[in-house]
Amino acid sequence: QKEVEQNSGPLSVPEGAIASLNCTYSDRGSQSFFWYRQYSGKSPELIMFIYSNGDKEDGRFTAQLNKASQYVSLLIRDSQPSDSATYLCAVNRRDSGYGNKLVFGAGTILRVKS
Amino acid sequence: NAGVTQTPKFRILKIGQSMTLQCAQDMNHNYMYWYRQDPGMGLKLIYYSVGAGITDKGEVPNGYNVSRSTTEDFPLRLELAAPSQTSVYFCASSYSPDNEQFFGPGTRLTVL
């Protein structure tokens, strides 16, 4: 089992629809969860982070966390063609050494069709 | 405020050559990281540092070395380049291990 799993997609949604991106993780002790967006040929940029169970909203984006099910998701409302990108889920893993490490999923490709 | 900068942007190496990828940040972050990203894959941690003089291995350290003599700079050294090291390399920094990581623009390396 991979530490952080995402459906590779592509997930295709029409413009204006809700895009739902999902991620599961294996370390029950993980406390911090991040969603990064990566455009083709560019570096990842942070979209959302969430630490507590429940929902966290920021504009058109909502992150949802369920630690009991080890599941984190990202909802994008009113999807726009500019949202077309790869979305990387990252989970903080307890580790030996000097502290926690971020473990990244392989990413989900999102395509928003106009 | 430039954030995280990386040089070079692109490089082609021959098998067996060596090179250093440069990374610098101006946010006074103690934590810095090197990742590699292969096509269709997530980011794999190569090495990280928690401050000047302190580094540790990540998931995929073989074939690489790092040093951290200042807070700002975190170079990655490739010795005896191999085709398996063809990848995109990202440097990142953060205030703490549980906070957002800021990424540089990446270096695309091809080993032929």
pLDDT in tens, B13-68: 999 999 999 999 999 999 999 999 998 888 999 999 999 999 999 999 999 999 99
Using CA atoms, how far apart are residues B10 and B28, in angstroms rounded to an integer?
26
Choose from A4, A43, A94, A103 for mutation: most chain B CBs within 10 A.
A43
Q: How many residues in total does chain A contain?
A: 114
Residue identified by tokens 């392989």 is A106
Residue identified by tokens 């991620």 is A23
pLDDT in tens, B89-106: 999 999 988 889 999 999
Asked whether the predicted pLDDT for residue A101 surpasses 90, the reply is no
pLDDT in tens, A40-70: 999 999 999 999 999 999 999 999 999 999 9
Contact A44 B90 (CB under 8 A): yes
| Contacts for A96 with CB less than 8 Å, ≥ 6 apart | none
- Confirm or reject contact between B41 and chain A (CB < 8 A): yes
Using CA atoms, how far apart are residues A49 and A107, in angstroms rounded to an integer?
16
Tokens of B102: 């800021």
Q: Residue B60 phi/psi, 5° resolution? A: -130, 65
CA atoms within 13 A on the CB side of B66: 30
Helix (H, G, I), strand (E, B) or coil at B20: strand
Choose from B21, B33, B46, B100 for mutation: most chain A CBs within 10 A.
B100
Average pLDDT over residues A64-93: 96
Using CA atoms, how far apart are residues A9 and A80, in angstroms rounded to an integer?
17
Contact A101 B97 (CB under 8 A): yes
